[in-house]
Amino acid sequence: MVTVCGTLSRRCLPLQPRLAAAAAPPLWLLLLLLLAAAAQCILADAPENASLVPDHVIRYAPLVWLHSQDPFRPADLLEHVRHTTPTLDQEPIPGLPALHLDNLALLNHAVDAGRVALTSNDDVTTLPPWLLGTLPDEAGRTVNATPCVVIVVERDHDELDAFYFYFYSYDRGANLTQVLPPLNSLIQDTQHGMHFGDHVGDWEHNMVRFRHQKPVGIYYSQHQDGAVYGWHDAAVERRDERACTRRPSCSAHTARTPTTRQPGKRNSPPHGLAPGTDAQTTHSHHIHDEVLIDYCDAGTAWDPVLSAYFYRFDPATRLLARLFPSSATAGPSTSNLTSFLYYTGLWGDAKYPDDHPLQKTVPYFGLKRFVSGPEGPLAKQLVRQGLFPDDRGTKSWTQRAVGVLMALYPCCLRGWRKWVALASLACVAVAAALSLRHGVRRCRRRRGYRKLDTEIPLGDVSATPLLRSSQEERRR
């Protein structure tokens, strides 16, 4: 008995046998019928398979350890939107409907010019409960909160990039006392406990590159730049084949930047950036990035993919398509929930002006207490050649100078070493001055001799008065 897969019901229906007296069908016709049925089954299953998250994207998804003393936990995206008001130049935008994740992109066309900012409805210094987020349970799940977005970008048939974005409603910057010497002597903590670089909204991420469904490298966003490692690098902490990401802390509260450091270790980001600006298109140039101290510990474990939205990004069309885990039991979604990702504005307050009562400025370096919130995941260069973003930005000359100073300080400028360094520098300066003086003298000496344009034969030289006088003296 021959079976054929139905297109709609996906059930195999038996073909009624022909009459015994009838002749059997040709073999080629039977094979053609089977191939057509198989093609119908494949086409019927293709849309469903295309909407599933690849298994290896979930199997190797990073795990996150939240610092035990950081009060700001992963935050639900919709809850964040509900507690903010779209503003332009610190003024609310009138005439808007109730906003949610499926219509947030309408803000892109709500104003003719300028950047919209999702501004907190509350005074952030009072730390309203919604800013604190949701603490994961023992299984690592954020119950009734979805703070993670996973975006899959297919590079070719064999390679795939998976971006794991983590959202927090607030990011508290570093305390002034967390600055490394010698620059800490230039910054006095005149307002004890003041942090700089605070902002509403915070997008952080890891990116894992897969080749033949196996991870080969991972990118950790760290401040304005980041760090990359091979998947089997000794610096990458793994648990059950999954890379571990720890939320470091400079002290009790600080900026969150994914790191591979072991708990209890101290760590300065390799190429720092201001807290939370890792999802911004414009690159910031914060001097304090080079002089912060990060601490991490084995705090609360969070498994982001247990409460996440999944998408596929098409580099050609720059469009998103919703994906679902293979373990999902819910029926088809009535919404793609992609609008909030297309939103191009800020996910927090815009930087407060200098005359704002909450704004403070750190002396010497002009650091602000409150900076602008970040842009969303689509601003984070989802299409890139290597693990690093293709456009990593440039540092200011001041930031470069501070970086050189911090690199030389431990070996050349700390304690008694600075006197040795000064003496060595003085010797080099004296040697350079002497060399310059010798070179100038030698150059002048060469310029003192001039070559005559005409040649004078020795036979044509007549007796000069000097020779005549000498001959007369001999005669006498």
For residue 254, the model assigns a pLDDT of 36
Query: What is the average pLDDT across 233-250?
Result: 73
Peptide bond into 315 cis (omega under 30): no
For the four alpha carbons of 128, 124, 65 and 149, in that order, the dihedral sign comes to positive
Output the CA angle 303-306-307, nearest 5 degrees. 105
Closest CA to 257 of 25, 115, 4, 64: 64
Question: Is 0.75 surpassed by the pTM of this model?
Answer: no
For residue 283, the model assigns a pLDDT of 40
Q: How confident is the model at residue 294 (pLDDT cuts 50, 70, 90)?
A: low
374 pLDDT above the threshold of 60: yes
In whole angstroms, how far apart are CA 383 and each of 29, 123, 393? 48, 37, 16
Partners of 207 in the beta sheet? 163, 219
Q: Report the run of H or E that residue 164 belongs to, with start and end.
A: strand 159-171
pLDDT tens, residue by residue, 57-114: 999 999 999 988 889 999 999 999 999 999 999 999 999 999 999 999 999 998 887 8
Query: What is the average pLDDT across 334-356?
Result: 91
Q: How confident is the model at residue 425 (pLDDT cuts 50, 70, 90)?
A: confident
- The Cα 148–Cα 164 span in angstroms is 7
Residue 161 or residue 24, greater confidence: 161
21 pLDDT above the threshold of 60: no
55 pLDDT above the threshold of 70: yes
Residue 401 three-state SS: helix
- The Cα 333–Cα 60 span in angstroms is 26
Output the CA angle 383-387-392, nearest 5 degrees. 75
Q: Report the run of H or E that residue 66 belongs to, with start and end.
A: strand 63-66
Q: How confident is the model at residue 468 (pLDDT cuts 50, 70, 90)?
A: low
Query: What is the average pLDDT across 158-187?
Result: 79
For residue 106, the model assigns a pLDDT of 96
| Ordered DSSP codes for 2-38 | -EEE-TTT--EEEPPPPPTTSPPPPHHHHHHHHHHHH
For residue 409, the model assigns a pLDDT of 63
Mean pLDDT of the chain: 76
Residue 331 or residue 206, greater confidence: 206
324 pLDDT above the threshold of 60: yes
User: Is there a contact between 358 and 330 (Cβ–Cβ < 8 Å)?
Assistant: no
pLDDT tens, residue by residue, 257-279: 455 544 444 343 333 222 333 33
440 pLDDT above the threshold of 80: yes
Assigned token pair, 96:
């808007």
354 pLDDT above the threshold of 50: yes
- Gap between the terminal Cα atoms of the chain: 151
Q: How confident is the model at residue 206 (pLDDT cuts 50, 70, 90)?
A: very high
Peptide bond into 182 cis (omega under 30): yes
- The Cα 256–Cα 247 span in angstroms is 6
Q: How confident is the model at residue 304 (pLDDT cuts 50, 70, 90)?
A: very high
